[in-house]
Amino acid sequence: MRRLRGKLAPYLLSLPSWVYLIVFFIIPLASMLGMALAVGDPLSGYTISDNFQEFVTGFTSYEDAFARSFWYGTASTVITLAVAYPVAYWIAFYGGRHKSTYLFLIMLPFFVSFVIRVLAWEFILSDQGFVLGPLKAIGLLPQNFHVLSTQWAVIGGLVYNSFAYYVLPLYVVLEKIDRRLVRAANDLYASPSTAFMKIILPLSAPGVFAGFLLVFVTNVGDFVNAALLGGPGTYMIGNIIQDSFFENQDYPMAAALSSILMLMLMIAILLYSKAFGTEAIQEYAA
C-alpha cells in the first residue's frame, strides 16, 4: 500500500497543474488552429473545414509585417545582448560586495507597469517634449526632426524593455565561472582578450542563448512598443493580429496569423531545446 502510494505520488502531485495546462494552454492552441481553419462569420457561427486558404492569404498579405517583426526582433535582441553583456560582466567580475545593489537597480523597471515604461519613452521622445523641444528651439535639430514613429523608436523601446531580462541570465552564468580558470589562462600567457574569447565567452554561452531565445520570442510578438512609439509604417504582426480580432472581427484571419507566428517561433524553440535543453531557460526564468 505504501509502495503503491509512493509510485502514484508524483502523478497525483502533478495532476492539478497538468489539468490546468491542458485545458488552458494546450487546448487553446488547438482551438486557435481550429479557428484558423473555420469558415463563417461572427453572426451565423463557424464550422471547421479543411480550408487552409486563410494561412496562405494571411501569410502573403502580411508578409511585410512578418518580415518587420522578425527584423525588429532580431535587431533589438542583438542590441540588447551587446549592451547587457558588458554590464553583466562588470557586475559579476568587478561588482564586489555591491553586486546585488547593482542588480536591484537594473531590475527597478520591473516595478513599473510595462505600458507605463513605454508611455514614458513616448513622452521623452515626443516631437515637442522636454528633450527634443529645447534642442529644436536652440536650432541644434531641424524643426521636422522626429524620433517617434521611426523603426528605431520601436527597436529602442524593445531594447529598453528587454535589457533587465537579458542582464539576469548573463549575470547568472558569468557569476558561476571559476575565476581560477581565468588566472590559469593568464599564467599561461594568454592575453586578456584571448582569455575572454577562449574561457569566459564559451562558458557564458548558455546564458547568451537562453537570454537570446526569451528576448527574441518576446520581442517578435510584441505590439505595444510599435503601437505607442511607432507609426503606420512600423506595424508588427502583433498589431495586425490585434486589429484582425478587434477592429475587423475577422477571427479566422487573426487565428491563422497567430498560428503562423506560433509555428515559426515553435520551430525556433524546438531547435533551441534540442540543441541546449530546457533546464537553462527554467533556471533563468526563476
Within positions 11 to 30, which residues make up the interface with another protein, using CB under 8 A? 11-18, 20-21, 24-29
Q: Does 56 bind another protein (CB under 8 A)?
A: no
Residues 217-246 that bind another protein (CB under 8 A): 217-218, 220-224, 227-228, 237-238, 241-242, 245
Is residue 79 within the footprint of another protein (CB under 8 A)? no
Residue 202: CA atoms inside 13 Å, Cβ hemisphere, count?
8
- Whether 199 and 52 have beta carbons less than 8 Å apart is answered as no
In whole angstroms, the minimum distance from the beta carbon of 112 to another protein comes to 5
CB nearer another protein, residue 149 or residue 242: 242
The nearest distance, CB 205 to another protein, in angstroms, is 18
Residue (129 or 231) nearer to another protein, CB: 129
Q: Output 151 or 276, the one with its CB closest to another protein.
A: 276
Closer CB to another protein, residue 62 or residue 121? 121
The residue range among 54-62, 112-120, 139-147, 198-206 that interacts with another protein, by the rule CB under 8 A, is 112-120
Binding residues with another protein: total (CB under 8 A): 100
> Which residues from 160-199 bind another protein, rule CB under 8 A?
160, 163-164, 179, 182-183, 186-187, 189-192
Decide if residue 145 touches another protein (CB under 8 A).
no
Closer Cβ to another protein, 75 or 131, answer by number: 131
Beta carbon of residue 119, minimum distance to another protein (angstroms, whole number): 7
Using CB under 8 A as the binding rule, whether residue 112 contacts another protein is answered as yes
Minimum CB–partner distance for residue 41 and another protein (Å): 12
Tell me: does residue 121 bind another protein (CB under 8 A). Answer: yes
3-state SS record for the chain: CHHHHHHHHHHHHHHHHHHHHHHHHHHHHHHHHHHHCEEEECCCEEEECCCCHHHHHHHHHCHHHHHHHHHHHHHHHHHHHHHHHHHHHHHHHHCHHHHHHHHHHHHHHHHCCHHHHHHHHHHHHCCCCCCHHHHHHCCCCCCCCCCCCCHHHHHHHHHHHHHHHHHHHHHHHHHHCCHHHHHHHHHCCCCHHHHHHHHHHHHHHHHHHHHHHHHHHHHHCCCHHHHHHCCHHHCCHHHHHHHHHHCCCCHHHHHHHHHHHHHHHHHHHHHHHHHHCCHHHHHHHC
* Residue 149 in the binding site for another protein (CB under 8 A): no
| 39 Cα distance to chain centroid | 32
CA–CA distance, 37 with 267 (Å, rounded to integer):
21
Residues in 256-285 that interact with another protein by CB under 8 A = 258, 261-262, 265, 269, 273, 278-279, 281-283, 285
